[in-house]
Structure 1
Amino acid sequence: MILVTGGLGMIGAHTARALAELGEQVVVTSYRQTDVPSFFDGTSVAVEQLDVTDREAFLAMGKGREIAAIVHLAGSIPGDDPVSYFRHDTTGLLNALDAARAWGVRRFAVASSIGVYIGQDESPWHEGLALPTADLPHHIVAFKKAVEPLTTHSLAGTGVQPVVLRIGSTWGPLMDPESIFSPIPPFVSAVLRGESPALTLTADGGGDWCYAPDMGRAIALLVTAQTLNHRTYNVSSGRPFTNRELADALNQPVVPGGQLEPFLDITRLTADTGFTPAFTLTEAVADYLAWRKTNPR
């Protein structure tokens, strides 16, 4: 059995679905969210309520279960007090690490971020690059950068294999339709309302956008691979997409100019798991449009 914390969030739910499709028994945890995605129907995914900051409750999740791996994706949204945010998410991480060691799981995968590379001029970004000291744009990125050494040092010598997931910009079903973290859902929302998108896209701008089902499958493959040769993996589409491609898929105009953001090199991920994205951007947009016509997010 594989435990996915934050398993009703976008990335967690798609990871759970992909694990179930690989034949794994999966239990996902969620604290506040109760809406279960329709794509869980007919799968082996079980849903449990859990406050990951409650250590006793976390450890109790292992009673009567043979949990072989943990995918720790649970996290909160920062409020006005950064200390409160860091305390909450660090407590959740440490409790997950305690559980991994107590249960003797084989692997512990944890979400890091593409943002750890900020300040690195070389592109594409690959796992061998030094992570520079830089001003980070968001508290979430700062925490994800700290997650990496906290995880690897906590698991050193325990027999639990850490898998650090440097997750690229992800979008798709279950994402906030007005999210500030991706231009695609708000753009699609406007199109579905029959409105002109408020966001003006520059033709040659864009970035590393990974469709959520592809992201979930990549993480699932890393968790279940017989052998992993590394402990840190870039997880994304492995290529940048232009705003022109997005606009063409939605038959919307763009303006000249713009510049592509750096993207993630997924050579290591592909070599160890065989992963390649299943969706082109055009296919992903069509799939997402179909989803949104019957789902609010």
Structure 2
Amino acid sequence: MILVTGGLGFIGSHTVVELQQQGHEVLIVDDLSNASLSVLDGITAITKSRPKFLQLDLKDKCGVAQMFSKYPEIKGIIHFAASKAVGESMEKPLQYYENNIVPLINLLYELGKKEKSCLIFSSSCTVYGQAMEMPITEEAPVQKALSPYGNTKQMGEDIITDFAKVSTMDAILLRYFNPIGAHETAYIGELPNGVPQNLIPYITQTAVGKRKELSVFGQDYQTPDGTCIRDYIHVVDLAKAHVKALERLLLKKNIEKVECFNIGTGKGTSVLEIIKTFEKTTGVVLNYKIVERREGDVMEAYASTTKANKMLGWKAELSLEEALNSAWMWEKSLNK
């Protein structure tokens, strides 16, 4: 059995689908603080199999211990459960440190009791800060984080690395770039509570009329069009990378106790390019305006994926246009 924490979230739900389609039994744990129970129905509709589900706040140490007692067959964890918005973390730093560090420690305490265990950690390209060279390789220095969110990902990596030295646990840290899109069925997708913190759901909500206009944070960066550049990866490609990483550990193909891989497309796209591509793909004209830069944002970040391509046997296959179109189909399905 594979435990997927935050399994009703955006990336978690798509990963559960891929796991089930590869024959893995899945237990989802989610506190529903930023997810809906309806996602479980979407997963079931796609896979024709309903995963086990437990509502639990992973900050509850006793609750986590009871879960492992109830499900001793858990052999691996994919850990998504975390608060994840850079901007919000600048405003609520203590909430981010508590939500992103305490659950990880509680899970590791339980893994430490097992003879053998493995963990896939949902890390982020934010650990690189503003990297000096593009594309970013796994050998790029981890810079001082520009936000509490980024700092929690760096701390999470350090905690896992330190724990692996004194335990039987093996781990893979997946540093992913900017996940976007939705499942092709439009049964699951990105479902933020309240005002979206990420670009694509804000674009789709603006396109459908939920939001008056889209704010583009800064047009004075040293990039070709002045807006920030990111590596946008289809969430289904990202989900498949988690399955590859998990199977690498389960089959004991890992070379080191803790390995890290960048998960992206290897291509940078600016915010204005995203807007233009969305408009061209969907035929919808977006209402947007340029506003001041947002604190915590880096200018440019896109991945070197050579290591993941070679060692995980994984590569991104879906296009930016496919990702944006799937996100739009998902948004429209929510508004029927």
Question: TM-score per shorter chain, which class?
Answer: 0.7 to 0.9
Q: Could you tell me how far 1:39 is from its partner in structure 2? A: 2.8
TM-score of the superposition, structure 2-length normalised? Answer: 0.77
Q: Could you tell me how far 1:238 is from its partner in structure 2? A: 2.6
Equivalence for 1:161: 170
Mapped partners of 2:191, 2:299: distance in 1:
23
Q: Which amino acid aligns with 2:269?
A: F
Mapped partners of 1:45, 1:274: distance in 2:
27
Q: Which amino acid aligns with 2:178?
A: S
User: Which of 254, 269, 273 is residue 228 of structure 1 equivalent to?
Assistant: 254
TM-score of the superposition, structure 1-length normalised? Answer: 0.86
User: Which of 45, 67, 73 is residue 66 of structure 1 equivalent to?
Assistant: 73
Equivalence for 1:140: 149
Are the aligned partners of 1:25 and 1:44 in contact in 2 as well (CA < 8 Å)?
Answer: no
Equivalence for 2:60: 54
Mapped partners of 2:317, 2:3: distance in 1:
25
Matches within 5 A, 1:69-218: 69-76=76-83, 78=89, 82-133=93-144, 136=146, 138-172=147-181, 173-176=189-192, 178-181=195-198, 183-193=199-209, 197-199=213-215, 204=225, 205=227, 206-218=229-241
User: Which structure is richer in relative contact order (CA contacts within 8 A, separation 6 or more)?
Assistant: 2
Q: Which amino acid aligns with 1:58?
A: V
Q: Please state whether the residue corresponding to 1:56 is helix, strand or coil.
A: helix
Q: Could you tell me how far 1:194 is from its partner in structure 2? A: 9.4
Q: Could you tell me how far 1:159 is from its partner in structure 2? A: 2.0
Q: How many residue pairs get matched? A: 291
Equivalence for 1:293: 332
Q: Which amino acid aligns with 2:300?
A: E
Are the aligned partners of 1:222 and 1:228 in contact in 2 as well (CA < 8 Å)?
Answer: no
Q: Could you tell me how far 1:24 is from its partner in structure 2? A: 0.5
Specify whether residues 21 and 165 from structure 1 end up closer, same or farther in structure 2 by C-alpha distance, changes over 3 A only.
Answer: same
Q: Could you tell me how far 1:96 is from its partner in structure 2? A: 1.0
| Cα deviations by residue, 1:36-58 (Å, 9 ceiling, x for unpaired) | 32133313522111110112211
Mapped partners of 1:228, 1:141: distance in 2:
26
- Structure 1 residue 273 and structure 2 residue 328: aligned? no
Equivalence for 1:238: 266
Are the aligned partners of 1:125 and 1:264 in contact in 2 as well (CA < 8 Å)?
Answer: yes
Equivalence for 1:26: 26
Specify whether residues 80 and 207 from structure 1 end up closer, same or farther in structure 2 by C-alpha distance, changes over 3 A only.
Answer: closer
| Cα deviations by residue, 1:234-263 (Å, 9 ceiling, x for unpaired) | 1223322341434422344799xxx98220
Mapped partners of 2:65, 2:24: distance in 1:
21
Q: Which amino acid aligns with 1:30?
A: D
Mapped partners of 1:194, 1:88: distance in 2:
29
Mapped partners of 2:315, 2:49: distance in 1:
24
| Cα deviations by residue, 1:91-113 (Å, 9 ceiling, x for unpaired) | 11101111222234431111221
Specify whether residues 175 and 263 from structure 1 end up closer, same or farther in structure 2 by C-alpha distance, changes over 3 A only.
Answer: farther
Are the aligned partners of 2:18 and 2:239 in contact in 1 as well (CA < 8 Å)?
Answer: yes
Q: Could you tell me how far 1:273 is from its partner in structure 2? A: 2.4
Mapped partners of 1:141, 1:157: distance in 2:
26
Gaps of 5+ in 1: none
Q: Please state whether the residue corresponding to 2:94 is helix, strand or coil.
A: helix
Are the aligned partners of 1:240 and 1:260 in contact in 2 as well (CA < 8 Å)?
Answer: no
Equivalence for 2:51: 45
Mapped partners of 1:195, 1:117: distance in 2:
32
Q: Could you tell me how far 1:116 is from its partner in structure 2? A: 0.8
User: Which of 260, 283, 286 is residue 322 of structure 2 equivalent to?
Assistant: 283
Gaps of 5+ in 2: 182-188, 290-297
Instruction: Quote the sequence identity (%).
Output: 22
Specify whether residues 76 and 283 from structure 1 end up closer, same or farther in structure 2 by C-alpha distance, changes over 3 A only.
Answer: closer
Are the aligned partners of 1:70 and 1:100 in contact in 2 as well (CA < 8 Å)?
Answer: no
Are the aligned partners of 1:116 and 1:131 in contact in 2 as well (CA < 8 Å)?
Answer: yes
Mapped partners of 1:90, 1:70: distance in 2:
16
Between 144-153 and 70-79, report the one with greater CA deviation. Answer: 70-79
Are the aligned partners of 1:70 and 1:105 in contact in 2 as well (CA < 8 Å)?
Answer: no
Are the aligned partners of 2:130 and 2:299 in contact in 1 as well (CA < 8 Å)?
Answer: no
